Structure 1
Amino acid sequence: MGSSTSKRRDPVLSPKAAGGLNILEWTGGLVSQGLLVKGAKTGWRLAWETMMRELAPQTADGSYSRPTATFTSRIGSAGFPAESGRYHLYVGNACPWCHRVLLALVLRGLTGHVTFSWLTDDPERASRGGWVFDQPDPVFGRRDLREVYDTASPGYRGRCTAPLLVDKIARRIVNNESSQILQMLNALQLPGCTPVELYPRELAMQIDAVNDLVYDKINNGVYKSGFATTQAAYERAQRELYEALDIVEERLARHRFLVGDRFTDADLRLFPTIIRFDAVYATLFKCCQRRVADYPNLSAWLHDVWQIQVGAPGSMQVRDTIDIDDARCSYFNSLFPLNPGGIVPTGPTLRELDLDHDVQRGTHCMSSIFHTREAGGLAESYAR
C-alpha cells in the first residue's frame, strides 16, 4: 500500500520589525485616537507649510509664485562688451532653467567663447540656497554659489539662484534670468559660432504665442503643481498643464516642431521640462494624470530633439546637456518638503526612456533642422 508524505514548510522568518513610540498604547483611554491623529496632522502640516514657503514662495490661495530676477544687464550694453572668453555661466544639472541656457550655448556653438561650470544641488552644504561646487570654482575660487553672489555683488541679500552669468574681467554679475540669458546667447555673434537662428523675425509672433503658453502652463505649470499648498491650487495647475499639453500634442501632429518644420526657441524652452517629466515631475510633483509616453507626438518629438546632431564629431550634443538619472536623484534628495523620506524612485532611467530609438521624423543634421541667419547678421531682440 503506497503512502504519501507531505512536506511541512517552516514559516519564513523576517527580521524583527521596529515599532514606533506606541503612543496609542501609552495614552490608553486618556486621549482618543482621533484627537492624536488630528493633532499630529495639524503639527506636521504647519511645519510642512513653513518649509514650503521657504522653498517656494506662495500666494494667499496656496499657489506657487516664481520670484523675479534681480540682475538683468545684457551682454552688449554699457560695461559688458561682446567679447570672446569674457563671460562665464554657472549651471546646475537638475535645473530646467539652467538647462535651457546650456542648450542655447551648445546649439549656437558658443562653448568656446562663453565658459561654464556645473553646480551641485546640495542644500545641506550650501550656506544659502542649494548650489555648491564639487570642483573648484574657476572664476572666484568660492565654495558655493552664495559666495559667488557675495563676491560679484557685495551686499546682496536675495535668493542665490542659477543660472548665473558673470563677467570674468569686471568680476561682476551680468544676469540671473534664464530667459534673458537665452536671448543674449541667441543674439551673440562671435567668430566660429554656428549660424543657427532660434528666433527668426518672420516667426516672432508665433513663437511668442507658443512660449507664453509653454512657460505659464507647462514650464512653470509642473512647479505650480508640485509646490501647491492647497488642493484647489494644485487642481487648477493640473488642469492648465494638461490642457496645454493637449495643445502641444496637436501642434506636433501637424509639424515636426512647435512652429513649423524647423527647431526654434519655442522647442528649446519646452525640452527641459519634457525630458524631466516622466522621470521626475510625474511622481514628485504629482503630475501623474498622463505621462509624456502617453502622448504619441510629444513623445516622438522628445526623441527627435534628443538625437539632434550638433557640430562636428566630438562636439557637445543635446544629450550631453543633462544627466537625467542624476537629476532624478537630485530632485528627490534635495526637495525635502516634498519627499521627507529621501527615497529615490528607481526609474524611469535614461535607458528605460529609450531616447536613442529613431522615431523617423527626419534627419538630425543641423542644416535640415535649424533656421540660419546671414553671416554677420544680428538677431532681433525679443520678449519673454
Structure 2
Amino acid sequence: RIELHPQGIEAMRSRQTVYPSVLLLLHLLFFSCCLAYRNVQLLSGSRFPSPPISPRGRERATKFYCQDSRDVSKGFNVLELTGAVVPQGFLVTGVKSGWNFAWKTLMRELAPQSKDGSYVRPSYNFKGVIGKGSFPDESGRYHLYAGKACPWCHRVELVRSVRGLQDYLSMTTVLDRPEEASRGGWVFGSHDPDPVVRARDLREVYDALVPGGFRGRCTAPLLVCKRTKQVVSNESGDLMRMLNNVAPKASDALSEEQRLRRRIDLYPPELQREIDELNHWIYEDVNNGVYKCGFATTQAGYNKAEHALTHALDRIEEILSNKRFLTGDRVTDADIRLFPTIFRYDAVYNILFRCTRRRVADMPNLKAWLQDMYQVPGVKETCDYNAMRESYFRQLFPLNPSGILPAEPADVIREASGRGAHDVASLFYIREE
C-alpha cells in the first residue's frame, strides 16, 4: 500500500489545474501566430507555392484553388497551413482540452458544482418573515425585485398575481443583462427604475441594504422593506408562503373580487402534508432537476439528473391522469411551484438543458394541466415567453456560445384544456372571513 504525503497530493492537484491552463495559453499563442501569418499573406498577396502541375491538370487545379481562396471561409486555415509540421492529433487534442477546461471553469462560475460534476444550488441566510419581528404586515411597506425570465421569480410573481396583491406589494422587473451588471446579471431598465435606493443593478441594492456590503450571488427574487431599508428574504419558497399568508383587513378598500382573491389559500391546513411531500420531490427532480441536467459538467452527473427528471415527469403524468390539479380539483401551492418549469420545458429545457427524453407536448395529461393552469385568473399576465427565450439562449453563454435562438416549438399552451371552470371560487380553496 502506498501512502501519499498531503503536500504531494496538493502538488498533484495544483498540476491538474496548471497544466490545462498552460496548454490553453500555448494554443492561444499558436493560433495568434497563425492568424498573424495569415494576415501577412493576405496583405502581401503571397501564397504557399503550389506543387508542380501537369499541363492536363492545370485548368482543373486552377479552378480549385480560386474557389478555395475566394469563395470558402476556413477560419485561420490552421490544419492546412501546419499539416506538414504539426500532427493533426496534437492540434485536435490540445484544442479540445483547452476548450473543455475553459468551459468547465465558466460553468463552475455560473453554477457551483459538487465533486461528481453535479449542480448545487446555493442557499442564503436572509430569514425575515412578513408579520414577524421587525417586518409587520403592512400594505405598501415591501418591494419585490423579480425577473421575467427566471422560474424562481415567476413562482413568487404568480402568488402575488393570483391573490391580487399588486396594491399590497410593489414590484420592479429586472432585466437579464450581465454585460451591463457590475456583478450577477440583473440590471434596471429606464422604463422600470429602482424605486428603493436608485440603484443601477441588483448588486447595488444588496450592497446598500446589507450592513458592510454583500458578498455572494446577487439573486432574484428579492424582497426588501422600503421603510427600514432591509432585506427580508431572497428565497422563493419562503416568499411564496409569506404572500399566501397575507389576509385582507377590514380597513382595506377592496372590491368584492379583490377581497375574494385575498382570501385564496394555496396551502390549506388539511393538505399541507401532501403538498410538502409533492414539493419535496418535484423541487429536487423537476424544478432543480432541469438545472442539474443543464449545468452538469460530467456524464455521470447528467445521467443521474436526467434519469430522476424523466421518472418524476412520468410520475406527474400518472397523478394528473385522475386529478385536475396535483392534489385534487383545486389549485394549490404545489401547482404554482410546478408551473414555471413546465411553462419553460419544451421551449428551453428540452433543447438547451438536454432534457430530451420527454416533451410536454407528448404527455397528454401534463399538457392539459399546463393549458388549464394558463387559464387560471392571474397566471397568463405573469408569462413572458420572449423574455424567457432571449435570456436562456442569449445569456447562458457556456451552454450556447453562438447565441443562436432556435425556432420556437409548437405552441400548445393557448389551446383550451376542457378540464373545468376557471372562476376563482371553483379553482381555489377560500379562507373564511
TM-score by length of 2: 0.80
Q: Deviations over 1:207-245 (max 9, x none)?
A: 111111110000000000000000111011000001000
Task: Tell me how far apart the structure 2 counterparts of residues 300 and 330 of structure 1 sit (CA, whole Å).
Answer: 26
Deviation at 1:355, TM superposition (A): 2.0
Q: Which residue of 1 aligns with 2:156?
A: 101
CA contact (8 A) 2:172 2:193 kept: no
Partner Cα distance (1:261, 1:28) in 2: 68
User: What residue identity is the alignment partner of 2:343?
Assistant: I
- Cα 1:356–1:28, aligned 2, differ >3 Å: closer, same or farther? closer
Q: Which has the higher helix share?
A: 2
Distance 1:246 1:75 in 2: 37
Asked if structure 2 preserves the Cα contact closer than 8 Å seen for 1:84 and 1:190, the reply is no
Conserved? CA contact 1:333–1:339, under 8 Å: yes
Q: Where in structure 1 are there 5+ consecutive unaligned residues? A: 1-12, 310-316, 376-384
Identity among equivalent positions (%) equals 55
- Per the alignment, residue 372 of structure 2 pairs with 304
Q: CA deviation at 1:308?
A: 1.1
Indicate the SS of the match to 1:72.
coil
Report deviation, 1:106. 0.9
Residue from 216, 222, 246 that aligns with 1:158: 216
| Secondary structure class of the residue paired with 2:310 | helix
Q: What's the counterpart of residue 320 of structure 2?
A: 252
Q: Are 2:383 and 1:322 equivalent residues in the alignment?
A: yes
Shift of residue 205 of structure 1?
A: 1.2
8 Å CA contact 2:248–2:263 kept in 1: the answer is no
Residue 356 of structure 1 deviates from its aligned partner by 2.2
Matched, 1:235 2:292: no
Matched, 1:88 2:143: yes
Structure 1-normalised TM-score? 0.90
1:280-320 deviations in Å (ceiling 9; x for gaps): 101110111111111100000000000112xxxxxxx2111
- The Cα RMSD (Å) is 1.4
Shift of 1:58: 0.1
Alpha-carbon distance change, 16 to 70 in structure 1, aligned in 2, over 3 angstroms: farther
2:320 alignment partner, SS class: helix
Aligned length: 353
Q: Of residues 81, 87, 94 in structure 2, which corresponds to 1:32?
A: 87
The partner residue of 2:176 within 117, 121, 132 is: 121
SS of the aligned residue for 2:398 comes to: helix
Equivalent of 1:359, from 385, 395, 417?
417
Show the counterpart of 1:333. 394
Q: In structure 2, give the amino acid aligned to 1:37.
A: V
What residue is the counterpart of 1:344 in the other structure?
Answer: 405
1:51 to 106, 117, 126: 106
Q: Is the 8 A contact 1:226 1:284 kept in 2?
A: yes
Which residue pairs with 1:261 in the alignment? 329
Letter in 2 for 1:347: E
CA distance in 1: counterparts of 2:121 and 2:412, whole angstroms: 32
Q: Which runs of 5+ in 2 are unaligned?
A: 1-66
1:61 equivalent to 2:122? Answer no
**1:167 and 1:173 in contact (8 A); partners too:** yes
Q: Which residue of 1 aligns with 2:232?
A: 174
- The one of the two structures with greater contact order (alpha-carbon pairs below 8 A, sep at least 6) is 1
Q: Which AA in structure 2 matches 1:169?
A: R
2:195 is aligned with 1:138? yes
1:20 matched residue in structure 2: 75
1:366, 1:17 → 2: CA distance?
Answer: 62
> 2:290 maps to which residue?
222
1:173 counterpart SS class: strand
Q: Give the Cα–Cα distance (whole angstroms) in 2 for the partners of residues 304 and 67 of structure 1.
A: 33
Report deviation, 1:56: 0.1
SS at match of 1:91: strand
Q: Distance in 2 between matches of 1:370 and 1:81?
A: 27
Pairing partner for 1:274 from 332, 336, 342: 342
Q: Classify the secondary structure of the residue corresponding to 1:63.
A: coil
Task: Return 24-33 or 86-95, whichever deviates more.
Answer: 24-33
**Whole-Å Cα distance in 1 between the matches of residues 411 and 144 of structure 2?**
29
State the shift of 1:16 in Å: 3.0
Give the letter for the 2:413 counterpart: L
Alpha-carbon distance, 1:346 to partner: 2.4
